[in-house]
Amino acid sequence: MGADDNIIRIEHISKIFRTASGSVTAVDDVSFNVRRGEIFGLLGPNGAGKSTLIRILTTLMKPNSGRAFLDIYEVTKDDEKVRGIIGVCPQNSTLDVELTAYDNLEFYGKLVNVDDSVLDERIWELLRMADLSDRAHSRVSTLSGGMRRKLEIVRAFLHRPLILFLDEPTIGLDPEARREVWQQISMLNTEHITIILTTHYMDEAEKLCQRIAFVDHGRLVSLDTPGNLKLAMPAGELIELGYDHFDDSLLAVIRAHHQVISVEKKEGIIQISAKNGSNLLPVLIAEFEKFGIIITSISIRSPSLEDVFLYLTGKKLDDMTSDIPVSRPGGPR
């Protein structure tokens, strides 16, 4: 079993919440595996069931049906064993803000059974990793949001867990702090630890995750590498060419090209979605020249994960950051 490549195996997990007004299916028959040592992204809008799934995997909640294995342990039967091999950094901070950074780590170290003889050394190692050595004896309440997050992430890593759960690790952080947290996550991953990351920031998932699962309405929509997910988009790449004067007969010529999927003329701009757009671009420029149309601007971009998600679910992820332009997809809805 230990040689198994899949460190997490989720088999038909469902979770139904009963409320006064009926029942809500938060997780609906979800099955997937997570490979040993990867950074695995769980993406979806708020309320998609990401946190519920994480709570089930971290033994905080029992599923209504289905099974999940973490390494060799089943989450509902061996919950104490499971808690020994996981590290969790929840969405809402659970640091004690009245204690110092060092004391928080020391306290947690005792809860997770880190041997006293190595604890001090380990704490300093983690503080260095989080770049907080000089703030070790500051109260957490005096640390910035980014520092607290980094402290919380290394805290979850204190006992060298096999699997690290990070629930929305960069929510509410400024861009600078987010980048630092990302660096830290990448660094942890080099220690052969499996990381499960939930987020609704697409850039974050794209940057960090080896594989991504899209969830929406409690269901698994898609699961693949970021690159493959983008390939699944029939829309291809989006080319935008600006002009002053335009000759409509050119439209037919462009449409006739086999790589082109769709063409749209707008005020001062032509939008073309095409497969392998970077190859197509020189051809298009030549066509424009042939018709004597002066190109005033050129842009080409790949579909973002946001576009893919939109394509797959027909809806946007909420709370997008300014880092990612909220764009209309070139492809079908």
Partner 1 sequence: MLRGAIAIFRRDFKKFTSNPFMLVMTLAMPIMYLLIFGNAIGGSITGIPIGIVQEKPFVHETPLYLAGLDQLEHFHTQPDKPALFHVQSFTDEQIAKNALADGEVMAYLVFPSDLEPGRTIRLYMDSSEFTVPALIQSGVTGSVAATGAKNPIEAVNVYGTIDYIQFFGVGVIVMAIFMTTMFGGGLALIRDREMGIIEGYFVTPVKRSSIILGTIGSGTVKAFFAGFIIFLVDIFIAGVIIRAPEDFILVLLVLFMTSIGVTSLVVSLASRFSSQQEYSSVIAFFSLLLFMTSGAFYPVLGMPSWLRWITVINPEFYAVQALRSIILRGQGINVIWLDLLALAIFSVGAIILGIITYRRTLE
**Residues found near partner 1 in the complex (CB under 8 A):** 58-60, 80, 83-84, 86, 88, 90, 92-94, 96-97, 108, 111-113
Question: Among residues 43 and 82, whose Cβ is nearest to partner 1?
Answer: 82
Question: Among residues 94 and 278, whose Cβ is nearest to partner 1?
Answer: 94
Min dist CB 257 to partner 1, Å, is 55
Query: Contact 215/221 with Cβ under 8 angstroms?
Result: yes
What is the three-state SS of 42-69? EECCCCCCHHHHHHHHCCCCCCCEEEEE
Min dist CB 128 to partner 1, Å, is 23
DSSP state of 100: B
Question: Among residues 71 and 206, whose Cβ is nearest to partner 1?
Answer: 71
Question: Among residues 96 and 125, whose Cβ is nearest to partner 1?
Answer: 96
Please give the structure tokens belonging to residue 80.
């104490």
Min dist CB 81 to partner 1, Å, is 8
* Nearest-angstrom CA–CA distance, 257 and 173: 45
Which residues does 77 contact at the CB level (< 8 Å), separation at least 6? none
* Nearest-angstrom CA–CA distance, 55 and 13: 12
Min dist CB 82 to partner 1, Å, is 9
Min dist CB 21 to partner 1, Å, is 20
- Could you count the other beta carbons within 10 Å of the beta carbon of residue 263? 18
Question: Among residues 149 and 230, whose Cβ is nearest to partner 1?
Answer: 149
Please give the structure tokens belonging to residue 299.
């842009």
Min dist CB 88 to partner 1, Å, is 4
Question: Among residues 103 and 287, whose Cβ is nearest to partner 1?
Answer: 103
At 112 the three-state DSSP class reads: coil
CA angle 330, 315, 309 (to 5 degrees): 65
